[in-house]
Amino acid sequence: MTEATKTPPRHATLDLPPHAPRNLRLLILLADTPLPAVVKRSGDYHQIFARLLRSSIEVAKAEQGAEGSANGARESKKLEVQSYDVVRGEFPSEEEVRSADGVLITGSAASAYEPLPWITHLVSFTSSLPTLNPSLKLIGICFGHQIIARAFGSSVERNEKGWEIGTRRIGLTERGREVFEGRGEIAVHQMHRDHVPSLPPSFELLGSTPACAIHGMVRLADASAPFSHTNISAVTLQGHPEFDSEMVNTIIDAREAGGVISREVADESRECAGERDDGVWVGRVLLRMFGV
């Protein structure tokens, strides 16, 4: 049997605001392909995250009064996004990791505790990243949050409280309020039944909901230094800042039709899915890790 041909990494190049410190490179590890109906409307996860980042960059530009103010005086900085389908065994090389500024692990319909070869490889790869590139920023979204928890010493399991779907308000800890610029809570779309039951060593809790005690984690590069976003080495969210209401409702419909969730869960989740979310602003906060 011949080995399957690997596809080249997906690329997107985004214009950063003038105050960005330099050109940046983000590697995205794609842990799933969305439902066909989601792909038809919104694209795959590479396209969905590139769109979120582009929108969040526009927020950063507006904050700085950057649109039109530079008048070409500064050379435009770029954010290069490269995405790899890790389900197919496609990972960045060591050289690519060493030259990157950040790695983002996406969500997935898979469970992070499943003993599938690609998941086992992803956990091992994630645990090796700080050694390959000590200055790398690591971001985990939903399944990615859970993979990072496993990679650094915790576990993932089915949540006995059941599904959490739709926009949910996450009450933030003191550290979470520092990360999210003084807010007491953030509203983020959810689509999960698994959870991280305990924090890995050196990670701090960001926030909780009644259904999920660990809704995000953060690790500082220098725990003894005063807080700054650029001092964050890893941050995770159980939710999906990249989702919008239509994506979530499409997934709810499919999972109800397939018997994955009950009608009662689906109806309650649809009510939450239509609420306002802070996804683009959360993306803007993540950009602060890179000095943007």
Domains of the chain: residue spans and CATH? 10-155+196-243+279-288 (3.40.50)
pLDDT of 199 higher than 50: yes
- Partners of 188 in the beta sheet? 168
Name which residue leads in pLDDT, 162 or 7: 162
pLDDT of 1 higher than 50: no
Residue 245 three-state SS: helix
**Average pLDDT estimate for 259-268:** 95
Task: Collect all residues with Cβ–Cβ distance below 8 Å to 153 and sequence separation of at least 6.
Answer: 200, 201
pLDDT of 71 higher than 90: no
**What's residue 76's pLDDT?**
85
CA distance 176 to 204: 9
pLDDT tier for residue 7 given thresholds of 50, 70 and 90 = low
pLDDT tier for residue 4 given thresholds of 50, 70 and 90 = very low
Q: Provide the mean pLDDT of the chain.
A: 94
CA distance 274 to 254: 17
**What's residue 248's pLDDT?**
97
Map tokens 């794609």 to a residue: 30
Helices (H) and strands (E) counted in the chain, each on its own, are: 9, 13
Q: Say which amino acid occupies 169.
A: R
Q: Are 110 and 116 in contact (CB under 8 A)?
A: yes
pLDDT tier for residue 2 given thresholds of 50, 70 and 90 = very low
Least confident stretch, 52-66, 142-156, 277-291: 52-66
pLDDT 10s digits, 75-122: 789 999 999 999 999 999 999 999 999 999 999 999 999 999 999 999
List C-alpha distances in Å: 220 to 4, 62, 203, 213, 289.
39, 28, 8, 20, 11
